[in-house]
Amino acid sequence: MKINLKIKGMHCKSCKMLIEDALDDLDVKSEVDSEKGTAAIEFDESKITEEKIKKAIEKEGYKVE
Give the pTM: 0.93
Task: State pLDDT tens for residues 3-61.
Answer: 999 999 998 999 999 999 999 999 899 999 999 999 999 999 999 999 999 999 999 99
d(CA 65, CA 60): 15
Tell me the CATH number at 23. Answer: 3.30.70.100
How many structural domains does the chain have?
Answer: 1
Q: Containing domain of residue 43, as a range?
A: 2-64
d(CA 15, CA 37): 10
